[in-house]
Amino acid sequence: MAEVTHSVATDQHVDVFAVLEQMDQAHPTFPHWYLPWFGVEAARQGKGRGSELLRNCLGFVDRDHLPVYLESPNPRNIPFYERHGFEVTGASQAGACPPVYSMLRSAR
């Protein structure tokens, strides 16, 4: 939390910490894989690399027969994840902060 405290403007702390608390409460308590960061360099987007990377990652997840959970602050990412079997399970939002979407993919 020290990183957030130092990198976010003081007048935005209440909203940011409220969103982080909501995210923590939304995080599954059952066994699952968690994808905290997932992305493709901007210059390489739109060429199928994200789908290839995610399919490879989900291959490891599926061997464990566990669900997989992630969050995304970008609503444009939702259709991408839905194509890979994820469903939006909620959104964390407070004040002027944009929503952060929680997504879950069932065990396979």
Model confidence pLDDT, tens digit, residues 2-41: 776 777 778 778 888 888 899 999 999 999 999 988 888 8
DSSP the chain: -HHHHHHS-GGGHHHHHHHHHHHHHHS--SS-EEE------GGGTTSSHHHHHHHHHHHHHHHTT--EEEEES-GGGHHHHHHTT-EEEEEE--TTSPPEEEEEE---
* Topology annotation, domain 2-105: Aminopeptidase (3.40.630)
Domain chopping of the chain, boundaries = 2-105
pTM here is 0.87
